[in-house]
Amino acid sequence: MTFADARAMFPVLQRLAYLNTGSFGPLSSGTAAAMAEEGQRDLADGRSGLAYFERGLALPDELRALKAELVAAPPDTVALTASTTDGCNVVLSGLGLRPEDEVITTTDEHFGLLGPLHASSARIVVVEPTAESILAAVSPRTRLLAVSQVLWTNGRILPVHELREASGLPILVDAAQSVGAIPVSVQGLDFVAIPGQKWLCGPDPTGALVVADPDALRIARPSSFSFSRDDGFDVAGAFVPRPGAARFEPNWISVATLAGLKVALTQAPDWSFERAAAQADQLRAMLAGHVDVVTSPEQATLVAFRPPDGRTAAEVTGTLMDLGVVVREIPRRELVRASVGWWTNEEDLDRLVAGLS
């Protein structure tokens, strides 16, 4: 696939300098067409019948396998979810943490992780987002590390595998800004929560959760997908869990959404990571003469900077939006964040820089 082919997949790029994949990735024509086709089938044939249910159960099998391949996970450790937050909730509710337990997290986490952390009973220890601070906070009470692999505030990469190895503690990785943006292997990690709608450019709501050892996590939020089809459940509610991580799947996801996700997961070219990293580096360099860039070199695909000329991040984001440049502000940080993907071209970056003056 050439760069021109790749770019042509995403109609939004014809009009907008779309630099907000950290919130939602661009949808491709192929993804939208697959969703529309299934939607039409739902309308014409009704959401019923053997063929419908067979499709609704076969597609998740395919999608688990595709997601597993993306992050080098065994397919039976992957559950389909509706979001990153969904995955964090499944893990934190299932671990059965108690008030005397501690979980270490960082100052730069999204509420998608922080919310589920605070809903657990554990004491949350918040430290600076560096490996040194995280490891220094480990105590005999620490039960879990819960951190992002790429910080949503500034794109910094945290060495999650090293943290797991050095601490010997289970780790929950929020991979919202990493999977699809940079190469990710989940090997050696305990729990990894992944969105489908960001860097994988899938429909919303979609996501996945990797649970390395499904038998070791309690099913705290059972759904119709939690019990074994062979053993079923009894009238008192007791059930034999379905094999693998699919037991944690919280919801039926519409066939149209699954069909769209399947297209999205198979559309990235093999040069995607290289190209996205190069474009992010280029943006850093282009912004350097104009604004205070807070993202260090050689991080992920988010580039954050302080608004110029005493303007607020909201003002800058609004002005850029009027000019057809889509970025976002990071609340409470007074930062503007641009998301650079494998589909981003020089003109997108020029439009952003020009819009700042």
Ligand X SMILES: Cc1ncc(COP(=O)(O)O)c(C=O)c1O
Interface with ligand X by CB under 6 A: which residues? 22-23, 83-85, 110, 112-113, 148, 152, 174, 176-177, 195, 207
Instruction: Report the nearest approach of ligand X to the CB of residue 76 (Å).
Output: 23
Instruction: Report the nearest approach of ligand X to the CB of residue 200 (Å).
Output: 11
> From CA 77, how far away is CA 260, in angstroms rounded?
22
Instruction: Report the nearest approach of ligand X to the CB of residue 85 (Å).
Output: 3
Instruction: Report the nearest approach of ligand X to the CB of residue 63 (Å).
Output: 16
Instruction: Report the nearest approach of ligand X to the CB of residue 50 (Å).
Output: 33
Return the number of the residue (6 or 63) whose C-beta is nearest ligand X.
63
Return the number of the residue (262 or 328) whose C-beta is nearest ligand X.
328
Indicate the SS3 state at residue 93.
helix
Return the number of the residue (313 or 356) whose C-beta is nearest ligand X.
313
In eight-state DSSP terms, residue 120 is S
Instruction: Report the nearest approach of ligand X to the CB of residue 336 (Å).
Output: 15
Closest CA relative to residue 222, chosen from 248, 244, 185 = 248
Q: Where are the beta strands (DSSP E) in the chain?
A: 17-18, 78-81, 102-106, 123-127, 142-148, 171-174, 191-195, 207-211, 302-305, 325-326, 328-330, 335-339
> From CA 18, how far away is CA 24, in angstroms rounded?
10
Return the number of the residue (174 or 190) whose C-beta is nearest ligand X.
174
> From CA 251, how far away is CA 207, in angstroms rounded?
11
> From CA 145, how far away is CA 134, in angstroms rounded?
8
Return the number of the residue (150 or 356) whose C-beta is nearest ligand X.
150
Instruction: Report the nearest approach of ligand X to the CB of residue 269 (Å).
Output: 24
* Residue nearest to ligand X as judged by C-beta position: 112
Q: Which residues fall within 8 angstroms of residue 299, CB to CB, at 6 or more apart?
A: 150, 154, 155, 156, 157, 280
CB atoms within 10 A of CB 126: 16
Residue 11 · residue 29 · CB < 8 Å = yes
Return the number of the residue (114 or 263) whose C-beta is nearest ligand X.
114
Return the number of the residue (104 or 356) whose C-beta is nearest ligand X.
104
> From CA 219, how far away is CA 239, in angstroms rounded?
11
